[in-house]
Amino acid sequence: MSSIQFSYPQMSGALTPDNKKIQIVNSGGSYFDLIYTIGQTTTVLHFIPTALSFTNDSMIIDHTGTGGNTLKIRFKIGQSDKAKHGITPSDMYINQLIGDGLEKDMKMIDKKIKIGLDSSKYTIDFASCGKIPIITLDKTYSSGGAYTEMTQLQSIEIPLTSNTFITDEIVCNEGINNSTDAATKTYEAKVAGNVGLSFGLGFLVLTAVVLGITIWKPMFNTKTEWFDGWDEHRGYNSIFVIAFLLSFSCFMGYGGVLTSGSGDKTVDLTGLLWTAIVSFLIFVFMVGYKMAVLTKPAAAVVAAAQPP
């Protein structure tokens, strides 16, 4: 039977003199365990991370382990200033980065990983699992890594399971909720707060619109049909048409940003939601007001104007 199990809690280190690697000084209990079977022989290896390096699109972790064996593993990374976390020599929390990846497009369960071996040098590539999002790295150590995959033992495929990635908070994809529940609840609270503020401010804006229409009511002529007097009502009609289009587009934009996970949610979503709700309230009121007041039959208006 073959299996992989690893965990990389918060580690710390220092840049090597050539600035190409981060030498790990305190591994923080990190480890990588590898078990594989060939015929009747089972090999059990235990590794400790010793160095961290990067290429433009990869994170490479060097290990030393049982019997002087070494291990080099690679994760694909996606550098972005919008990522939630990064890496510095004094703060290397790989579990956190992998957790971020599992929340998005990265997947481990049901993936199969091949082992590379050359003498006592092992390699394992997790590139097929997807990218880990990471804040743009310091240029001094962002592209000093190197990874050469060994070919021996590539016929052995190790399936990844929920027990492959062990961390202080989550166990692979199945345990994502443990690490994200608090963040999700916090975010849900923010969304609920945004909805409340949007309605509150929306009614405030709506009150101002009602006052405006009341003050300038003589400007609106009464007509017998909905579209009669478009020229006379052009400004009014244009406002509620614009309000409808703005509300529709902002609700669609809100849903798009929410489902895609792009943009700064605390800013983009609040603005979109507020605009969508306020525009919708204005649209509903203006349509209702037009139906109730501005489209009264002209005869009724004349009759109401006659002295008793």
Neighbour-count burial of 192, counting CB atoms closer than 10 A to its CB (0-12 exposed, 13-18 middle, 19+ buried): exposed
Q: Are 220 and 229 in contact (CB under 8 A)?
A: no
3-class DSSP state for residue 137?
coil
Q: For residue 128, what pLDDT is reported? A: 92
In this structure, is the dihedral angle defined by the CA atoms of residues 96, 97, 98 and 104, taken in order, positive or negative? positive
Contacts 24+ apart (CB under 8 A), 207-213: 209/282, 209/285, 209/286, 210/285, 213/286, 213/289
Q: For residue 227, what pLDDT is reported? A: 41
Retrieve residue 165's tokens: 């990635």
308 residues of the chain, pLDDT tens digit each:
789 999 999 899 999 888 888 999 999 899 999 999 988 899 999 999 999 999 889 999 999 998 999 999 999 999 988 888 989 888 899 999 998 899 888 999 889 999 999 989 999 999 999 999 999 888 878 887 888 889 888 888 899 988 899 876 544 444 444 444 444 555 555 666 666 666 666 667 667 766 666 666 544 444 434 444 444 556 667 777 788 888 888 777 777 776 665 555 555 666 777 788 778 877 887 777 776 666 655 444 444 445 55
pTM: predicted TM-score of the whole model, two decimal places = 0.56
